[in-house]
Every structure is written in structure tokens, then in C-alpha cells.
Amino acid sequence: MINRNRNPERMEADSTWTHQTIRVGAVSYLNSRPLVESLDTYQPEIELSLDVPSRLADQLAGGKLDVALIPSVESFVDSNYRIVSDACIATHGPVLSVKLYFRVPPGKVKTLALDEGSRTSAALAQIMLAERFGVHPDRIPLPLEQSTSDTSADAVLLIGDRAMHTPAESFHSVWDLGEEWVTWTGLPFVFAMWTTRSGLDLHGVEAVLQQARDLGLERINKIAIDGANALGLSQDVSLHYLTKNLYFKLGEAEREGLKLFRRLAAENNLIPQMNTLRSRRHSSTDSLARA
């Protein structure tokens, strides 16, 4: 767990803040850095922990976190979840960090190895294969410490920082799942959202997360340089990734993309049929309700 020191100079405190320590979990990949880079500059203390998306979802569900940047598909499975901010991780095209590697043509895939850090991307890969090619492969977990060469599966899903590096072996074809979704649907895809559970007193946290996002975007050049150095990427690739491949605001187009993703996930039995996703600020179902 990382305790961030207070620094009141960088953000202006929100008058509705509850002045309690809030346990916040965020993705440990470069794609979340613009959302969390400035959380330590906000006046109230935030207890921040970093982990892979799937573990964050489990920690939020288990009550170990109050707010988490969890996979969007996880937000659909519990009717007690609420979106707590319009800050998110989304793409309007190629995403670069979510790749599906094929050893056989997509229509002939019988086994699918899924990155254990992933849940949204795992669901997206299965939806795309089912809807476009009518295939429903057997799923094989791919541990975080393993890569494509550690499995003989017909297709292998990698996400996050390691997906930004090209594997040594050759493949029949490679999908960038962000690009495939946007080309297929014409809508953005949202990979992760700030989510909380019903009943928590989190007044003011929405402003904290949105201001952190805005400050992170102001510092995007520095974040890109730091990320490039840490991951062995060129600075141009890192900056393009953060400014062109990714989008960090949940707007109407992103919500429409989420609605379609939710419907397709339910139709393919990847999530419960009847759950809806609600906004923390409203008691009625928001625009992510099942259409």
C-alpha cells in the first residue's frame, strides 16, 4: 500500500470532501498514470494501491478498497456498483496495449489463452470471436509472469505494458482489440472506470479524481518520458500512446460503447443478464442500463 503525502498547493480542495482516508486502487500500467499521477497532491489523504485490473476488481468486491479503477466488465456484474467519476481509460481506435495473437486463422481458434490480469479485454476477445466468426474456444489462463511462448493455445491475449512489446515469435495475425472494436462498431471502447460500492460516504471524491486526471494530462509529456524510460519504449511511442491511443473522459459516445459492450457480454453469457450500472450521483439507472 502506498501512502501519498499531502500537498495542498497543486489542487483546490472540494468543499464537499468528507475528510476521511479513502482507499483507492488503480491499475499498475502506464495507461493509468495520467489518472493517478496527481492524486498525491490533493489535500485530503488518499491511500493509493496499484495492481493489475483483475485483482483491483476482487479487492473492491471484498471491501478492501473504497474506489477502484476496475475493468468495465466488472462494473456490470454487481448492481451495487456506481461510477464515481468521468475519468476513465478508453480508446477511439488502436489502443496498442491490448493484443490478441493468432497462431491459426480467427475462425479456427479452439483454444484461447487469456492474460490473468485481464477481465474486460478477455470478455472483449471472446465477444469478437463469437460475434464475427462464430467460435467459442476453450479458455486457458495465462499467468502474469508468462508470455505467448509459454502456451500452445491457438490465440493468446496480452494486455498492459507487456503487450506494447512485440513477441519474438511470428504469428498468423495480430489484433489490436481497440482498433478491431472501433472498426466493427464505430464506437469507442472503455477498458476501465472509477467505480465504488453503494452506501459509502464519498462526497467530493468525484472532483478529486477528475482534477487528478486533468492535472495528469497537463503533465503528460513528463509521464510519457518516465514511462518510456521504465518500459524500454521510445519517447515518441510512449507519448503517442498516452495522447493518441488512449482517451481519459467518459462522454456520451463512450457510454454508448459501454451499452453495446454490456449487451453483447450478456448475450454471450459473460455477465448476468439483468444487472444495470448506476451513477453514484443518481438513484435511477443511468445511460448504461441494459437496452
pLDDT of residue 286: 44
Considering the domain architecture, whether residues 14 and 86 belong to the same structural domain is answered as yes
Give me the chain's average pLDDT, please: 87
pLDDT tens digit string along 81-132? 999 999 999 999 999 999 999 999 999 999 999 999 889 999 999 999 999 9
Residue 259 counted as domain residue = no
pLDDT tens digit string along 217-231? 999 999 999 999 999
pLDDT of residue 77: 87
Considering the domain architecture, whether residues 110 and 235 belong to the same structural domain is answered as no
pLDDT of residue 160: 92
pLDDT of residue 3: 34
pLDDT of residue 274: 54
User: Residue 64: pLDDT above 50?
Assistant: yes
Considering the domain architecture, whether residues 21 and 81 belong to the same structural domain is answered as yes
User: Residue 134: pLDDT above 90?
Assistant: yes
Considering the domain architecture, whether residues 106 and 218 belong to the same structural domain is answered as no
Residue 23 counted as domain residue = yes
Mean pLDDT of 248-261: 98
200 — pLDDT class (breaks 50, 70, 90):
confident
Question: Domain ends where: 160, 185, 210?
Answer: 185
pLDDT tens digit string along 2-31? 333 334 334 444 444 455 788 999 988 999
Q: What is the CATH number of the domain that holds 86?
A: 3.40.190.10
Considering the domain architecture, whether residues 34 and 160 belong to the same structural domain is answered as no
Mean pLDDT of 174-178: 98
pLDDT of residue 44: 59
> Range of 147's domain?
98-185
Per 3-state DSSP, what percentage of the chain is helix, strand, and coil (rounded to 5)? 40, 25, 40
pLDDT of residue 275: 53
Q: How many domains does the chain have?
A: 2
Considering the domain architecture, whether residues 193 and 152 belong to the same structural domain is answered as no
pLDDT of residue 285: 32
Considering the domain architecture, whether residues 58 and 199 belong to the same structural domain is answered as yes
Instruction: Write out the DSSP string of 16-83.
Output: T---S-EEEEEESSGGGHHHHTTGGGSSS-EEEEEE-HHHHHHHHHTTS-SEEEEEGGGGGS-TTEEE
Mean pLDDT of 48-59: 90
Q: Where are the beta strands (DSSP E) in the chain?
A: 2-3, 22-27, 46-51, 67-71, 81-91, 98-102, 111-115, 138-142, 155-159, 173-176, 189-197, 247-249, 278-279
